[in-house]
Amino acid sequence: MTAEEKRADVVPANGPPADAVGDPAAADPAPDLVDLLKTAETEAAEMKDAWLRARADVENVRKQGANDLARAHKYAIERFAGELLPVKDALESTLAASDASPEALRDGVALTLKQLAAAFDKAQITEVNPAGQKFDPHQHMAMTTVDSEEPPNTVVQVFQKGYLLQDRVLRPALVSVSKADAKTS
């Protein structure tokens, strides 16, 4: 065998010999993995920090909302109470007047009632006076049924007026309702 044949035997024609060591950086994937791991750990730490901050913000908003709701419940009636103070003052001044005539007292009470009606209007409290109307069990409370010339289930007499706060019943009207004739039944 010639020297050239021996060399061809050792180094294949299509590439380096099998036992030859190539580029060490290309063969070792560890440096890339270490960099990737550090990057992933940094991103995970940033995400955790952002999540903790967002969670704290949500908790703060929840607490603030609960505080606002508690204050709203506690002071919801403040405006209405302010409207009632002049009514109380007028009643107290009426009681304080010892030498007032009955007519002057009556005028003072009428004026006080106007102030109360104005306070009710501002608070959207409306009066329910159902005389002559059809009985509505959602707004009226029947105290008795009576014989009457009115059609059945008609409010004949109002014992006590009812009141609505916007569309909610504060107090049902206490009423007497006509009943059906025994002849027509």
Indicate whether this model's pTM tops 0.85. Answer: no
Cα 160 to Cα 38, 75, 103: the distances in Å are 80, 30, 26
Q: Are 141 and 157 in contact (CB under 8 A)?
A: no
Give residue 112's pLDDT band: very low, low, confident or very high (50, 70, 90): very high
Lowest mean pLDDT of 34-48, 76-90, 155-169, name the range. 76-90
Whether the per-residue pLDDT at 181 is higher than 90: the answer is no
Of the spans 26-30, 100-104, 118-122, which averages the highest pLDDT?
118-122
Tokens of 141: 């409370």
If you average pLDDT over residues 79-99, what whole number do you get?
88
pLDDT of residue 94: 84
Amino acid at 27: A
pLDDT of residue 47: 96
Give residue 140's pLDDT band: very low, low, confident or very high (50, 70, 90): very high
Angle at 126 between CA 159 and CA 154, to 5 degrees: 40
Give residue 75's pLDDT band: very low, low, confident or very high (50, 70, 90): confident
